[in-house]
Amino acid sequence: MSHILIHEVGPRDGLQAEQRIVPTDIKLEWLGRLMDAGLDIIQVGSFVHSGKVPQMADTDELFRCLSTRKRNSSVILSGLVLNEKGLERGLACGVEMFCLGVSASEIHSRKNTGMSTEEATQRIITMALEAKAAGKKVQVSVQSAFGCGFEGLVPEGRVMGIVEAYLAAGLTAISLADTAGHAHPAQVSAYIQRVLAMDSNAEITAHIHNTYGLGMANVYAAMEAGATTIETSFGGLGGCPFTKVAAGNVATEDLVQGLQRTGLRPDIKLDALIRVACDVATFFGRDLPGCVYKTGSLAGGRG
Q: How many CB atoms lie within 10 A of CB 173?
A: 20
Residue at 115: amino acid letter = M
Residue at 285: amino acid letter = G
Start-to-end C-alpha separation, the chain: 27
Which member of 93, 99, 148, 240 is catalytic? 240
Half-sphere exposure of 202 (CA within 13 A, CB side): 28
Helix (H) or strand (E) holding 78: strand 76-81
Among 162, 55, 40, 29, residue whose Cα is nearest residue 108: 162
| Residues 276 and 234 sit within 8 Å (Cβ to Cβ) | yes
**Rounded Cα distance, 175 and 163, in Å:** 9
240 is catalytic: yes
Among 255, 249, 253, 299, residue whose Cα is nearest residue 272: 253
Contacts of 23-32 with CB under 8 Å at 24 or more apart are 24/58, 24/61, 24/62, 26/283, 27/58, 27/62, 28/62, 28/65, 28/66, 30/234, 30/276, 30/279, 30/280, 31/62, 31/66, 32/66, 32/69
Active-site annotation, residues: 240
